[in-house]
């Protein structure tokens, strides 16, 4: 299920992206080594599904696959930085599963109550 990130800068609150949560460690590490805007746009094409990105000329991008460098250059700089930061947050959030419950298998040897284990936070 994708994660939605919404821009919280005044006047830009209508901008949001939904980023896939299906990344491998290899993909995450490759993303974290990106250096250029072109590389970030390529990642956006692969990982952003639905979105609402407003360009300065009034056009709106609604699919991550439709994002190009030309279109990104027509957005406010704050929007291009928001997209990059949303991808960084998504790569960070991949390891944050929240609380996970696990039931220990007792094989009928003991009738203790199930134990809850909290997942480690990254």
Q: What is the pLDDT of residues 67-116, one digit of tens each?
A: 999 999 889 999 999 999 999 999 888 776 555 444 444 455 544 444 44
> Is residue 54 pLDDT above 90, yes or no?
yes
In a domain, 31, yes or no: yes
Neighbours of 52 (CB within 10 A): 14
Averaged confidence pLDDT in the chain: 82
Q: What is the pLDDT of residue 117?
A: 45
Q: Look up the domain containing 43 and give its range.
A: 3-93
In a domain, 12, yes or no: yes
Q: What is the pLDDT of residue 35?
A: 86
Neighbours of 64 (CB within 10 A): 23
Q: What is the mean pLDDT of residues 47-52?
A: 95
Q: What is the mean pLDDT of residues 55-75?
A: 93
> Is residue 60 pLDDT above 70, yes or no?
yes
> Is residue 45 pLDDT above 50, yes or no?
yes
Q: Which has more confidence, 114 or 39?
A: 39
Q: What is the mean pLDDT of residues 22-46?
A: 89
CB-hemisphere CA count at 13 Å for 91? Answer: 19
In a domain, 98, yes or no: no
In a domain, 78, yes or no: yes
Give the chain's domain count.
1
In a domain, 99, yes or no: no
Q: pTM of the predicted model, to two decimals?
A: 0.74
The distance of Cα 106 from the centroid of its chain, to the nearest Å, equals: 38
In a domain, 33, yes or no: yes
Share of the chain above pLDDT 70, in %: 78
**Tokens representing residue 47 in the block:** 């990982």
């Amino acid at each position: 299920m994708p994660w939605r990130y919404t821009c919280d800068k005044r006047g830009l609150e209508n901008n949001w992206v939904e980023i896939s949560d299906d990344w491998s460690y290899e993909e995450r590490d490759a993303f974290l080594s990106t250096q250029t805007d072109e590389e970030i746009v390529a990642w956006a094409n692969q990982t952003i599904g639905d979105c609402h990105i407003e360009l300065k000329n009034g056009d709106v991008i609604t699919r991550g696959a439709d994002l190009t460098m030309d279109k990104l250059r027509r957005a406010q700089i704050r929007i291009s930085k928001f997209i990059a930061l949303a991808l960084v947050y998504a790569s960070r959030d991949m390891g944050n599963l929240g609380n996970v419950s696990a039931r220990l298998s007792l094989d009928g040897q003991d009738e203790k109550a199930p134990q809850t284990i909290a997942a480690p936070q990254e």
